[in-house]
A and B are shown apart, each in its own frame.
Chain A
Amino acid sequence: MRKKLSVRTIIKYLTLILASIVAVFPLLWIILSAFKGPGEINQYPTNILPKQWTFDNFRYVLSELNFGNYIVNSLVIALATTFVAVTISALAAYGVVRFFPRVGKALTRLLITTYMFPPILLAIPYSVIIGALGLVNTRIGLIIVYLSFSVPYAVWLLVGFFETVPLGIEEAARIDGANKLQVFIQVVLPIVAPGIVATAIYTFINAWNEFLYSLILINSTEKMTIAVALRALENQEILDWGQMMAASSLVVLPSVIFFVFIQNKISSGLAEGATK
């Protein structure tokens, strides 16, 4: 019995290890390539590890191309979008589930209609709206547009998570005299914390990687986001793989760090929340 179990465990781990390798390999490749000197990335056959480690590519991308600045821009915009969108959406999702079950359902369904339009076609109307508001070339303008795709998604998914919260727990709290907002913050939120985190990751990633609206709405170089800067590097007449790999690493890594950070937040908060 015991032996059988451990074979199963080994298979589980092997599967996870294999899946992890497939998942991480491209990132590893990008990072390792970024440390290679000129000529080495394009050497054939390719080495996986750099023969001679160099920081030149990173140095160039950070100092000459100002990627540090773009990372900060993207970070500010993505975090602000995530914060605002998740707050608005969590309130709305809870409101829909608890107070407007009927109307709410229809409403959330209407929400996803917005996803049925390819962004490329929404770009023109958005640039008109943001232009009319005088918010072209501002971060606020961009964040507002990002809400248009983050809020529907977040509401839609959070509704699913909130519906799993047993009503009994809330009723108990209400009997203790807590008001709606207190019940929401103290009782319900901890239970759906994993769902909130999943939604937050999604919102962050989408805002972080968003390219089209950022290209169209932001003009000045100092406000440019990282996705636009990356594309500018890729579409050059003079293609430099080393720089491209260094820039790509700098785009992907902050999201990965964000994952690590936010994941640790859930696993602690949740277990207690659910059993309270």
Chain B
Amino acid sequence: MIKRIKKINYTSWLFILPAILVIVSLLLYPVLSSVVYSFTSKHLTRPVSTFVGLQNYKKILADEQFYKAFFMSIKWTVASIGGQVILGFILAMLLNSIKIGKKMFRVLLIVPWAFPVVVIAVIWKFLLNGVYGFIPTMLVNLGLTDTLPQFLSSGTLVFPTILFVNLWFGTPMIMVNILSALQTIPEEQYEAAKMDGASTWQTFVSVTIPHISKVVGLLVILRTIWVFTNFDMVYLLTGGGPANVTMTLPIYAYKMGWGLKLLGKSSAITIIMLIFLLIVCSIYFYYSDKKEKENV
């Protein structure tokens, strides 16, 4: 249990006041307006709208496409986050354990993070193009396949391909954060473990893991939400195709809100997403709180 250094007083409030101001002023209105829209026939460009009750929700929950997109979103998020964490963790451990060239590798490895999504889509589509793309032609030249692989247009290859791009893009951020967490572990803790005669593995389990788990946990939650609600990466790479196999919930909502201009309906989709994510987060918090209590 963390003991409070001093009683709560005004100086303590000053620390958190600016953040509260930002949040309240910037998020209350947008969030509330989305909730309100979801119960109306709000149209993107028409000025008038009427209250329709639960109509929007009913229609969406009756749409088969919604469930497909939902499932796809879950698959996409779980695979992306799982892959990014595993790869990011391995790379961070590797970086932390080497002496020479550490800085250089660290910079090289986070380069993908610097890419705006527009550029990601343009360059990967160019490199993966099934006619002239560098990667398919290289695979053929190396004798690995006979025909040019259709990375973005084959129903079976498209998911692994966009997943690869997302791992390429997202791993650096996880890596940097894990690395930062590793670097905040005080040297004494390792020394203490050594003195107790712990093996490398034991040190890893008893010192490293507990120390970084907090940051990694928070990061995973954040990235999960981000990937789940992210729209442009998949949209720009595949547009949800071929034959809707990569249609995620945000793309579905986008098509509703901007394609059909049915802002009411797309707000309802967002609210459903919000509720789902809240449930996921609550489960996570429940278990992390429980674990914390056990540790005390």
CB distance from B257 to the nearest CB of A (A): 7
In the bound complex, CA of A153 to CA of B225 (Å) = 11
Cβ-defined partner of B105 (8 Å) among A20, A94, A104, A116:
A20
B281 contacts which chain A residues (CB < 8 A)?
Answer: 109, 112
Contact B114 A256 (CB under 8 A): yes
B257 contacts which chain A residues (CB < 8 A)?
Answer: 120-121
Contact A230 B186 (CB under 8 A): no
Cβ-defined partner of B111 (8 Å) among A147, A164, A256:
A256
Residue A46 at the B interface, CB < 8 A? yes
Residue B52 at the A interface, CB < 8 A? no
Contact B123 A26 (CB under 8 A): yes
A-B contact count (CB 8 A): 281
A104 contacts which chain B residues (CB < 8 A)?
Answer: 16
Contact A26 B184 (CB under 8 A): no
Cβ-defined partner of A171 (8 Å) among B5, B33, B113, B285:
B5
**Smallest Cβ-Cβ distance to A274: which chain B residue:** B186
Contact B98 A13 (CB under 8 A): yes
Q: A112-B222, A117-B34, A198-B180 are in contact. Are A205 and B114 (CB under 8 A)?
A: yes
**Smallest Cβ-Cβ distance to A94: which chain B residue:** B15
Contact A211 B116 (CB under 8 A): yes
CB distance from B274 to the nearest CB of A (A): 5
**Smallest Cβ-Cβ distance to A150: which chain B residue:** B22
Residue A194 at the B interface, CB < 8 A? yes
Residue B67 at the A interface, CB < 8 A? no
Interface stretch among A50-58, A60-68, A122-130? Answer: A122-130
A20 contacts which chain B residues (CB < 8 A)?
Answer: 105, 108-109
Q: Which of A16, A174, A211 has the most CB of B within 10 A?
A: A16
B15 contacts which chain A residues (CB < 8 A)?
Answer: 91-92, 94-95, 99, 180
Residue B193 at the A interface, CB < 8 A? no
A270 contacts which chain B residues (CB < 8 A)?
Answer: 183-184
Contact A92 B114 (CB under 8 A): no
Q: A22-B168, A159-B218, A164-B211 are in contact. Are A195 and B180 (CB under 8 A)?
A: yes
- Please tell me the number of chain B residues within 8 Å of chain A, measured between CB atoms: 95
CB distance from A39 to the nearest CB of B (A): 14
B12 contacts which chain A residues (CB < 8 A)?
Answer: 95, 98-100, 180
In the bound complex, CA of A77 to CA of B18 (Å) = 19
Contact A144 B258 (CB under 8 A): no
B101 contacts which chain A residues (CB < 8 A)?
Answer: 13, 16
In the bound complex, CA of A12 to CA of B278 (Å) = 40
CB distance from B286 to the nearest CB of A (A): 12
Q: CB within 8 Å of A: which of B65-115?
A: 90-91, 94-95, 97-98, 101, 103, 105-115
In the bound complex, CA of A259 to CA of B111 (Å) = 8
Could you mark each residue 249-273 of chain A with 1 if its beta carbon is under 8 Å from any beta carbon of chain B, else 0?
0011101100110011011001000
B19 contacts which chain A residues (CB < 8 A)?
Answer: 88-89, 91-92, 151, 155
Residue B199 at the A interface, CB < 8 A? no
CB distance from B283 to the nearest CB of A (A): 13
Residue A142 at the B interface, CB < 8 A? no
Q: Which of B23, B185, B186, B250 has the most CB of A within 10 A?
A: B23
Q: Which of A26, A45, A98, A111 has the most CB of B within 10 A?
A: A26
A192 contacts which chain B residues (CB < 8 A)?
Answer: 184
**Smallest Cβ-Cβ distance to A15: which chain B residue:** B94
B6 contacts which chain A residues (CB < 8 A)?
Answer: 99, 180
Q: CB within 8 Å of B: which of A101-147?
A: 101, 104, 107, 109-122, 124-126, 128-129, 144-145, 147
B16 contacts which chain A residues (CB < 8 A)?
Answer: 91-92, 95-96, 99-100, 104, 107
Cβ-defined partner of B34 (8 Å) among A125, A147, A260:
A125
In the bound complex, CA of A264 to CA of B5 (Å) = 34
**Smallest Cβ-Cβ distance to A244: which chain B residue:** B122
B231 contacts which chain A residues (CB < 8 A)?
Answer: 118-120
Could you mark each residue 159-193 of chain A with 1 if its beta carbon is under 8 Å from any beta carbon of chain B, else 0?
11101111100110010000011000000000110
Q: A98-B5, A117-B34, A192-B184 are in contact. Are A91 and B123 (CB under 8 A)?
A: no
Contact B22 A151 (CB under 8 A): yes
Residue A29 at the B interface, CB < 8 A? yes
Cβ-defined partner of A197 (8 Å) among B13, B180, B217, B222:
B180
A242 contacts which chain B residues (CB < 8 A)?
Answer: none
Q: A22-B168, A88-B18 are in contact. Are A148 and B27 (CB under 8 A)?
A: yes
In the bound complex, CA of A119 to CA of B115 (Å) = 19
Q: A115-B225, A163-B214 are in contact. Are A30 and B187 (CB under 8 A)?
A: no
Cβ-defined partner of A24 (8 Å) among B111, B176, B222:
B111
Name 13 extra pairs, CB < 8 A, besides A194-B180, A194-B184, A252-B114: A12-B94, A16-B95, A46-B132, A115-B226, A116-B274, A144-B26, A160-B181, A194-B183, A195-B184, A201-B110, A205-B114, A252-B111, A252-B119
14 CB < 8 A contacts A-B = A16-B105, A30-B123, A104-B16, A109-B281, A111-B23, A112-B225, A112-B281, A117-B274, A160-B217, A180-B6, A192-B184, A264-B103, A270-B184, A275-B186
Nearest 6 Cβ contacts at the A-B interface: A95-B15, A92-B19, A255-B114, A194-B180, A125-B30, A99-B12
